[in-house]
């Protein structure tokens, strides 16, 4: 199975190498801003001409916003715009032009309805002090040295790694991976190099292919499994909150930048800001490490994993819980489960957003009309079941897998459920005509390496 994945390694750059990388990042920013200025100038000119009554045939000619067109324009004007262009790799300028071409395409697609999701605005000019320095190389000498502690990039030369690249080097030596690009980026005060690699992964099977587990994510416990296991929430942001407050107060006492009067930040302010950035980067790294370990263990052990389609933006509207929800990383858990199940030969089922997993009794299927968030135990008034609230929800999620297999294989629409919780009734899975009805014998083999959406209604 061929897939595209990234390998990220920390770098140990010398001061000279860091200046060279920053020069390449600045070249990318310059090319981006120059091309954006050309685009805006033509758009503004055409808009002004229309106000004068000029017909469309006589307007200032427009040009394509594709990367080849922007690159051709840059090559024609780079001698005047950047006389020092030969000191940097051509990939540096291509990085800025490619970012602008993608941003313009996303803006057009959103305006025309081709792109869904959050609103996409028109691209903005990149500031030297606010933008994250990065440069991407797609051609030239990109390789890992035999000692696996150095990498070679175009014009940047031989860079020392902070950690061994043996995992990537083994695949490259065996011919099971092909390097597509390399990106050098500064994150939290440290430089990283990320290799985008096309990997030929071996077909894998989970340790228990027939195992089905429901995963209910939360704040008190990061994940509660239908097997009864509870994964504690480390709450890395809460643990680091005291130090973050101290660093924030220290930063506020320094002379920072002020764009209104053109004031430059002091050196002490820059050092304090760097310390605060490193503290936040450490929290993010700890969170990312814990989530990777959890999702890898689940996908390697269980053949079917069932999760909920949570409305995370709506949950973040709760000002009392927003910070804890963001610290848990609900969306990241689902994202990692989606691609890791395909890597390990399993499947991921996503329950419909309005499926009442917490309000439904896992024993008899009765549904409560209301269930306060403070009620941590589920008490069923029909069968008398008493169970932990989160484990009851995980058990209901795991039960959806059997109903999905009975209803039929293949993706099922995930929208259309009613937001209102109705009393009584069993949870049903939408099925296509001709498939085995729920409750009768006969199952459909699960689809390996897929992410399916289960439509569940209480009726």
217 shares its domain with 149: no
41 shares its domain with 6: no
154 shares its domain with 193: yes
Q: Is residue 346 in a domain?
A: yes
Write the pLDDT tens digit of every residue in 332-350.
Answer: 999 999 999 999 999 999 9
9 shares its domain with 101: no
The residue range of the domain holding 104 is: 17-111
Write the pLDDT tens digit of every residue in 226-268.
Answer: 998 999 999 999 999 999 999 999 999 999 999 889 899 999 9
| 0.75 surpassed by pTM | yes
Q: Is residue 92 in a domain?
A: yes
Q: Are 340 and 382 in contact (CB under 8 A)?
A: no
156 shares its domain with 56: no
160 shares its domain with 99: no
**Domain boundary pick from 148, 175, 200:** 200
Question: 436: pLDDT confidence band, cut at 50, 70 and 90?
Answer: very low
Q: Is residue 239 in a domain?
A: no
74 shares its domain with 156: no
Q: What is the largest CA-CA distance in the chain?
A: 81
439 shares its domain with 293: yes
Over the chain, what is the mean pLDDT? 87
Q: What is the pLDDT of residue 452?
A: 57
The residues carrying an active-site annotation are 216, 308, 390
53 shares its domain with 140: no
Q: Is residue 241 in a domain?
A: no
Question: 451: pLDDT confidence band, cut at 50, 70 and 90?
Answer: low
Q: Is residue 269 in a domain?
A: no
Question: 281: pLDDT confidence band, cut at 50, 70 and 90?
Answer: very high
Say whether pLDDT at 418 is over 70: no
The closest alpha carbon to 273, from 246, 239, 247, 241, belongs to: 247
Question: 376: pLDDT confidence band, cut at 50, 70 and 90?
Answer: confident
Q: What is the pLDDT of residue 404?
A: 80
Question: 454: pLDDT confidence band, cut at 50, 70 and 90?
Answer: low
């Amino acid at each position: 199975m061929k897939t595209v994945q990234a390998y990220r390694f920390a770098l140990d750059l010398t001061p000279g190498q860091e200046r060279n990388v920053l020069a390449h990042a600045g070249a990318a920013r310059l090319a981006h801003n120059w091309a954006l200025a050309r685009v805006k100038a033509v758009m503004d000119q055409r808009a002004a001409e229309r106000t004068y009554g000029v017909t469309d045939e006589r307007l200032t000619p427009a040009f394509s916003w594709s990367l080849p067109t922007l690159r051709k324009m840059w090559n024609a004007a780079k001698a005047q715009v950047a006389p020092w262009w030969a000191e940097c790799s051509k990939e540096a300028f291509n990085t800025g032009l490619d970012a602008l071409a993608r941003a313009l395409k996303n803006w057009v697609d959103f305006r025309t309805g081709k792109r869904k999701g959050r609103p996409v605005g028109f691209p903005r000019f990149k500031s030297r002090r606010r933008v994250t320095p990065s440069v991407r190389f797609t051609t030239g000498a990109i390789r890992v040295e035999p000692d696996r502690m150095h990498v070679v990039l175009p014009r940047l030369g031989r860079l020392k790694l902070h950690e061994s690249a043996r995992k990537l080097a083994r695949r490259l030596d065996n011919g099971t991976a092909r390097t597509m690009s390399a990106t050098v980026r500064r994150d939290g005060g440290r430089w990283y190099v990320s290799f985008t690699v096309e990997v030929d992964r071996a077909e894998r099977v989970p340790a228990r292919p027939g195992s089905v587990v429901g995963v209910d994510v939360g704040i008190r416990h990061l994940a509660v499994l239908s097997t009864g296991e509870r994964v504690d929430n480390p709450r890395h942001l809460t643990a680091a909150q005291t130090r973050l407050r101290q660093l924030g107060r220290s930063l506020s006492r320094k002379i920072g930048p002020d764009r209104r009067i053109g004031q430059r930040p002091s050196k002490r302010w820059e050092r304090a800001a760097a310390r605060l950035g490193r503290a936040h980067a450490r929290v993010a790294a700890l969170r990312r490490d814990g989530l990777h370990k959890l999702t890898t263990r689940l996908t390697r052990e269980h053949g079917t994993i069932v999760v909920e389609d949570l409305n995370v933006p709506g949950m973040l509207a709760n000002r009392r819980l927003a910070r804890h929800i963001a610290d848990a990383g609900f969306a990241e858990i689902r994202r990692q489960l989606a691609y890791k199940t395909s890597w390990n030969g399993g499947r991921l089922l996503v329950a419909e957003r309005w499926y009442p997993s917490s309000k439904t009794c896992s024993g008899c299927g009765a549904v409560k009309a209301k269930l306060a968030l403070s009620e941590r135990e589920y008490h069923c008034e029909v069968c008398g079941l008493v169970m932990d609230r989160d484990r009851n929800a995980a058990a209901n999620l795991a039960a959806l897998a059997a109903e999905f297999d009975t209803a039929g294989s293949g993706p099922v629409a995930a929208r259309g459920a009613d937001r209102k919780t109705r009393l009584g009734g069993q949870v049903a899975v939408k099925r296509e005509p001709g498939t085995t009805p729920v409750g009768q014998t006969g199952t459909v083999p699960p689809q390996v390496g897929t992410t399916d959406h289960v439509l569940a209604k209480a009726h």
